[in-house]
A = this chain, B = another copy of it.
């Protein structure tokens, strides 16, 4: 018994066959070309599904993870600004395959993937936070995706942690995302002096700074980079302690590009979080994600 998972991203549409153990048996993708009409994007999703149906004859469902606001009950993308989708009925669009079609927010799919076959597999209550270009999040409660009343909510990246602080892409000031995304590390990295190791690594071309370079420079002992990373840890801990004070999950899973730092990131942040949790006795574990970029694909396939 296999399932199709689809990760509908801004750059690529990735479709995969996932077996009952969460293993990806096959993966295919097409460029999203997100400026196109939604019907053309849907045609490409159908094309990928058709190819997978030709290759595998025991597909029982299709699950799609899409950014934006999703009506998961009816399988409709209510709104997605990147793709220009508005009330796009993906369940109807894929009805030709005669299997159940599920649609869910991509961050929720990633959290569900980590819950089912990743770092939160042994837990019923988890929160997955992805630290990438933005800060994504999904909450699993009693083994199911936790959602707001109107198909939204759990936008933890857009929880303000510093009301007098940095501007966020969403238009507010001080969101968790404005402090804990890879983008935030890059923004701070670009503020260093020409004496910094960061400047040396990029040969003075600050447009080449990425988050890893700032982490690397900090590890080499560069004082300015160390300062940036220390502030990053502290702000990340503030947001995670908020998550614990609010949800008190059994486990928080850290994914996204920044999580590649592994224990070097998790351990110091965990120490700060432990001091910040209300009541002083933190029982929530903090771990690195296991499924990497496949979390959303796997989670989407497992939707039901």
By a beta-carbon cutoff of 8 Å, the part of chain A in contact with chain B is 69, 79, 124-125, 141, 146-150, 152-156, 158-165, 170, 172, 174, 234-235, 238, 241-242, 244-250, 276, 278-279, 283-284
Contact = CB atoms under 8 A, between A and B. Distances in A.
A248 B148 contact: yes
Integer count of this chain's copies in the complex? 2
Given A235-B163, A278-B170, A246 B149 contact: no
Contact of A164 (B158, B162, B247): B162
Contacts of A242: 159-160
B148 A247 contact: yes
Given A154-B246, A160-B238, 5 more contacts: A141-B146, A150-B248, A154-B247, A155-B278, A161-B162
A149 B248 contact: yes
A185 B247 CA distance: 28
A160 B283 contact: no
A231 B224 CA distance: 34
B246 A159 contact: yes
5 contacts: A152-B248, A160-B238, A160-B241, A161-B161, A161-B163
A160 B69 CA distance: 26
